[in-house]
Amino acid sequence: MTDIAKDMPWLGRAWNTVQQRLAQDRLPHALLVVGEQGVGKRAWAEAVAGLLLCDQQVGLDNGAPIACGQCRQCQLIAANSHPDVRVYSPEKSRMVKVDQIRALSTFAVASPQVAHRKVAIVDRADQLNINAANALLKTLEEPLPDVTLLLLQESGRPVLPTIRSRCQALTIPLPDAEDAGRWLSARVSELDESARPSPDTLAKSLMLAGSAPRLALEYATGEFLPQRDEAFEAFRQFMKGQMTVGDAARRFKTLGLDDTLWLFESWAADLARCSAGGEVQDPEAADMLGYLARSNPPWRAHQLLDRVRESRSAGVYNASPELEATQLLLAWRELMPRKRQTT
């Protein structure tokens, strides 16, 4: 039997809402699920798909149904081969394109192949291009009784109001650091001993991920941390005038555009917190950001955040991480106090 809230308790509220609506036969045709990157939205959506397609749901009478884990539908879900579940996510252009949404529309009007209903997941509904958004709107305006749409939105990324208004919105909160740490430690303990990250690596990953557990796991077991450390050192040296902008920007290339923009966004957000008298989330950047906060008005941090958003919009057209890093580094350099020239 499958109850994702037992594995990831912070998903419980959104999960329980779906369970209750399903038991009451009041499940909406479309759900918009909002949460931070790496909080578990995709895992939640896949669990909901398994619950909706299961032939032998357990606990339906008490208002808390879960998938049985044994029927044919559950076996197909577990094998990631269920023909009545489709996932549409950004392609290389970092956008969900209109052709994908047209395929979703075709899938929606077709009869289920082996189950009694169908589920379509749009992973990153905030990255629909305008044509794709308009095509999805037509599907939302003509709901079908045997189709459930699950739209996943990253916090802080806009979705068209016309799409939002046709969905029931659910929010998945971040867990507190203690719960996130327990989950992360449990997942890491399942790895071979030689592949297990150290406690310091886990703590740093969780800090940089903002307590988003699945993102922290990705950081702890992947290449992000050494790449981030190299990029941060280049950033620090550039701000001190010890490295050229070209050399510093090249250190961000291996991160890719998404992680590059995320780093600059997190530093700008920390600068805004510091300017307001708060604490930064990245303690390794605290000294530099504190100095800049004391040397600049608070609006400069928000100007940097706006600049990152502009870069992210440009990113849908395959912008270069090195080019965007160059422009962002130069914007940050403007915050450094200018030395007075002596005569």
Question: Where residue 148 falls among pLDDT bands split at 50, 70, 90?
Answer: very high
Whether the CB-CB separation of 148 and 139 falls below 8 Å is answered with no
- Under a CB-based contact definition with an 8 Å cutoff, are residues 324 and 314 in contact? yes
The pLDDT mean for the chain works out to 92
CA distance 84 to 119: 6
Helical pair 224-239 and 213-221, crossing angle rounded to 10 deg: 90
Domain segments of the chain: what residues? 4-171, 223-333
Distances from the Cα of 131 to the Cαs of 39, 76, 88, in angstroms? 28, 33, 15
With cut-offs at 50, 70 and 90, classify the pLDDT of residue 341. low
In the beta sheet, which residues pair with residue 152?
33, 123
pLDDT of residue 224: 94
Question: Is the confidence at residue 140, as pLDDT, over 90?
Answer: yes
Nearest to 184 by CA among 164, 161, 200: 200
> Residue 210 — φ and ψ, nearest 5°?
65, 35
Q: Which residue has the tokens 């450390």?
A: 229
- 219-261: pLDDT as tens digits: 999 999 999 999 999 999 999 999 999 999 999 999 988 899 9
The strand pair at 85-88 and 147-154 is best described as unpaired
For residues 100-105, average pLDDT:
96
Q: Is the pLDDT of residue 340 over 60?
A: no
Q: What is the mean pLDDT of residues 266-272?
A: 95
Q: Report the candidate in 20, 4, 25 with the shortest Cα–Cα distance to residue 62.
A: 20
- Using CA atoms, how far residue 195 sits from 46, 204, 214, 225, 228, in Å, is 27, 17, 17, 15, 20
Given this model, what pLDDT does residue 91 score? 78
Into which CATH architecture does domain 4-171 fall? 3-Layer(aba) Sandwich (3.40)
Tell the burial category of 276 from Cβ atoms under 10 Å away from its Cβ (0-12, 13-18, 19+).
Answer: exposed
Model confidence at 313, pLDDT cuts 50, 70, 90, reads confident
pLDDT band at 311 (very low <50, low <70, confident <90, very high): confident
Tell me the backbone φ, ψ of residue 40, rounded to 5 degrees: 115, 25
Average pLDDT for 14-38: 94
| Residue 268 near residue 292 (C-beta atoms within 8 A) | no
Is residue 9's pLDDT more than 70? yes
Task: Note the pLDDT of residue 39.
Answer: 96
Q: Which is nearest to 248 in space by CA: 260, 266, 265, 262?
A: 260
Residue pLDDT, tens place only, 167-217: 999 999 999 989 999 999 999 999 998 889 999 999 999 999 989 999 999
